[in-house]
Amino acid sequence: WTKLYLAHHWPVTVCKMSANDCQDPPEYWTIHGLWPDKTEECNRTWHFNVTEIKDLMSDMRHYWPDVLHSSLNRTQFWKHEWEKHGTCAATLQVLNSQKKYFGKALELYQHVDLNSFLLKAGIKPSSSYYQMAAIKEALTRFYSVMPKIQCLPPEE
- Catalytic positions, please? 32, 81, 85
CA distance 44 to 7: 21
Q: How far, rounded to the nearest angstrom, does the alpha carbon of residue 138 sit from its chain's CA centroid? A: 20
54: phi > 0 → left, psi -120 to 50 → alpha, else beta; which? alpha
CA distance 41 to 112: 28
CA distance 9 to 50: 22
In degrees, rounded to 5, the angle at the alpha carbon of residue 37 between the alpha carbons of residues 85 and 150 is 90
Number of other residues whose CB lies within 10 A of the CB of residue 95: 21
What ranges make up the beta strands (E) of the chain? 4-9, 30-36
